[in-house]
Amino acid sequence: MSKNNTRTYEQALSQVSAWFSQKDWTVFDFQKECWQAVSQGHDGLLHAPTGSGKTHALWMPHILRWLQNPEASDRGLQLVWITPLKALAKDMERQFQQTVQDFNLSVRVERRTGEDMRRIYARFDRSDFEIVGISTEIDSLTWISDIERFKNPWIQLYGGNGFEQETFKAYRGGGIPFYILVNPEGLIERYNDVRPTFNLEEVLEEAIDSK
């Protein structure tokens, strides 16, 4: 499908309905209501039992949006889908990638988990990238217990005193986690606008390549 081939909502809906028919699935009324509501810019909460079709009720409105305006699918981060389990996240990634492929959309689907920072840390040489984690945990015994439990490989320091901790206040920390990217000269390059689950890897690649 050409990126310039914009469509009306009804045309996109017809294509989605045909996709459901090809898979021998039924489009339920509540799913259509969700699609319509999202397309009109409404917010909401969907409560439905497992296996009722709520994933497609909330995923397909975005397929409809991208079918209507394919160029919009290239404009940065489009959607964040949060799941409570890693296994479920992997399954959702697979489903979403297949759907995007079926509709020939230029949307990149990626999975992010709590292990992303470890993966990024292992990828880069220590001469290029190092992490210094400073805890705001008040209880030092809890901090030690967490270090032993998570076994993160980077430098970890105990600051104590919660959000009143001196370093945290000096950098005007507004919450946790709080990320600051410092260059080899000690100057702040990025101030809390990088995340291992989103853009840290790309930012590091650019910084290292420009050295």
Q: Span 116-209: which CATH code?
A: 3.40.30.10
Average pLDDT for 187-210: 90
User: 113 versus 158: which is more confidently predicted?
Assistant: 158
Q: What is the pTM of this model?
A: 0.58
Determine the pLDDT at residue 2.
43
Q: What is the pLDDT of residues 4-50, one digit of tens each?
A: 578 899 999 999 999 999 999 999 999 999 999 999 999 999 998 88
Q: What is the pLDDT of residues 68-100, one digit of tens each?
A: 988 877 777 788 898 877 778 888 999 999 999
Q: What is the token pair recorded at 119?
A: 């993966």
Give the C-alpha separation, 56 to 130, whole Å. Answer: 41
Burial 68-89 (b: 16+ CB within 10 A, else e): bebeebeeeeeeeeeeeeeeeb
Q: Please list the residue range(s) of the chain that carry CATH number 3.40.30.10.
A: 116-209
User: 173 versus 43: which is more confidently predicted?
Assistant: 43
Confidence class for position 188, pLDDT limits 50, 70, 90: very high
